[in-house]
Structure 1
């Protein structure tokens, strides 16, 4: 990666030196997440997938060789009582040769200078170079004092998200990949750098604005609920009044019907 652990003490020394030399102003610090950037580059993902396939093939071959050796050992163990010393020695030499051959194959694929490390380095190096160039542009044009790397291979215990330059670097790489060397617009679009005090103040202001918005929202909801309650109350009163009126009409009709029935019954009795 861009920064490795062997540079850790040097970086710490530079930080303290910068703090002493620039005590009159706060240091401007940023970082990039190399793992994140790599995952966003399609060419890297495609090459990484091809490398992973080769790695799987190497592991399969290693397992096959290991199993072959294990089978020969088991065979020798079973046949040993029937073999002469000369044949036993010959088979043991064959097993030893295959074990040494397997160890050499493992080292050639996964050793310090093996194919995996070499191809991984070749895969990452072009993107690292682009990231390094983008960081130089950002550092010089936006007056950064330090830009660090945050990845699996770098020691970054904590950093506020506002210092993350990864997306800016990624945009610059993508623009240059399209053949456009002018990244000035990307630099102009960068948000102003915030010191700790400024960030804390902005966060406090944002929290206060959010609280006020929530308060207004709650008040609007309360008013709407109150309006709905009044509406429901009026509606309920109207429905009650309508029902009372309807019941009176039904009662009156029933009374009139009862009278008519009574008169009709009286007439029938008189006849």
Structure 2
């Protein structure tokens, strides 16, 4: 049968070539490859696989229950009567028939899995057939075959495979409804360029080389940026280490200088010339600190903070003095007021005593 189909196909191709005067253009697709690259089909297939997994678990649970019943019957057979044994065997047979019915319902030739899978494939197949018709009309294909079908293809060159073109056409059709006019124009431009690449393999190879060069250039730029960042971090680390080393050296120098001054205070009997000589030698032996911009800025900031602290302390002191003066003045006024009231109370009896003799006369 297949040989007959191939013979008829070859005859039709030769007759068409003879009539039209041009070569017959043939393409093919791989339906399985297309289905595995269509997002809608993949999502629906995953959902179907989840359902199938649940069905398999249900079947496995049923099978385990039947196995347990058989094991129990084997253990208790010597203790049971003939009637009880027959009842248990009937129950096991019923469970086995039920298991077989469940398997046929979900995974039989007309089962849920086969039916739902066909329902999933049907919309994608319709999209594939529509895309194939459009591509065949645009690129003048005379025949398009399905490589995954029953038709035997002993050899098929890759350049005649239009499966990727079909996938792109389906993707564009699904996205086109969600895009604006400008985006659709850009998509059509991209589609035109892809069609040119399909028609001209040299152009596709050239574009591929350009993309590889661009990727190498971007990688080189990233490596240079990373190297520069590493150098900056290393320089920062060295600078911080140098600052810490200088700070440690200054602290030790100040400590030694303080100890020397205390010793000089305790030994007042030394002559001034000897003290001057020792201080000169200490100054000569002490290494000059390296001037650093960061240390100068830090010192200036410390001086500024110290001045601010002194000013805040002076302001607080003046406020306290004003509060003390106010309190003292208030206390003085209160004392004067009390003294005045006491004097007033003391003069009242004297005035009453002076007026009494006049009334007797």
Same topology, TM > 0.5: yes
Task: Note the 1:136-155 alignment, pairs <5 A.
Answer: 136-151=133-148, 155=152
Tell me, what secondary structure is at the counterpart of 1:112?
Answer: coil
- The answer to which structure has the higher helix fraction is 2
Q: CA RMSD in A?
A: 3.1
> Alpha-carbon deviations, 1:4-37, whole Å to 9, x = none?
xx9x567424422223313434321111122222
Contact 1:29 1:145 in 2 (8 A): yes
**Aligned in 2, Cα 1:169/1:152: closer, same or farther, shift over 3 Å?**
same
Q: Report the equivalent of 1:158.
A: 155
Q: Go from structure 1 to structure 2 and tell me whether the alpha carbon gap of 1:171 and 1:27 turns closer, same or farther (over 3 Å shift).
A: same
> Which protein has greater RCO, CA pairs closer than 8 Å, 6+ apart?
1
- Structure 1 unpaired stretches of 5+: 1-5, 207-271
Structure 1: which 4+ aligned runs deviate by more than 6 Å? 181-185
- CA displacement, residues 17-63 of structure 1 (integer Å, 9 cap, x when unaligned): 22331343432111112222222222221111111111111111111
**Correspondence list, 1:76-87, <5 A:** 76-87=73-84
Number of aligned residue pairs: give it: 192
1:70-109 superposed matches below 5 A: 70-109=67-106
Partner of 2:279: none
Structure 1 residue 191 displacement after superposition: 4.8
Would you say the 8 A contact 1:28–1:193 is kept in 2?
Answer: no
CA shift digits 1:195-243 (9 cap, x unpaired): xxxx9xx9xxx9xxxxxxxxxxxxxxxxxxxxxxxxxxxxxxxxxxxxx
Residues 1:55 and 1:179: Cα distance change in structure 2 (over 3 Å): same
Q: Is 2:162 aligned against 1:168?
A: no
Determine the structure 2 residue equivalent to 1:123. 120
**TM-score when scaled to structure 1?**
0.62
Q: 1:157 to 1:52 in 2, by over 3 A?
A: farther
Q: Which residue of 2 aligns with 1:17?
A: 11
Residues of 2 paired with 1:72 and 1:187: CA distance? 68
CA gap of 1:27–1:109, structure 2 versus 1, over 3 A, is: same
Q: TM-score, normalised by structure 2?
A: 0.47
> Does structure 2 retain, via aligned residues, the 8 Å contact 1:80–1:88?
yes
Distance 1:141 1:44, change over 3 A: same
Measured in 2, the distance between the counterparts of 1:141 and 1:59 equals 47
The separation in 2 between residues aligned to 1:154 and 1:20, in whole angstroms, is 19
Deviations 1:66-97 (A, max 9, x none): 11111111111111111111111111111111
- CA gap 1:17/1:154 in 2 versus in 1, 3 angstroms: closer
- Aligned residue number for residue 31 of structure 1: 28
Query: What's the counterpart of residue 352 of structure 2?
Result: none
What 5-or-longer segments of structure 2 have no aligned partner? 178-183, 206-361
Larger radius of gyration: 2
5 Å-filtered alignment, 1:1-271, equals 8=2, 11-24=5-18, 25-151=22-148, 155-179=152-176, 186=191, 189-191=194-196
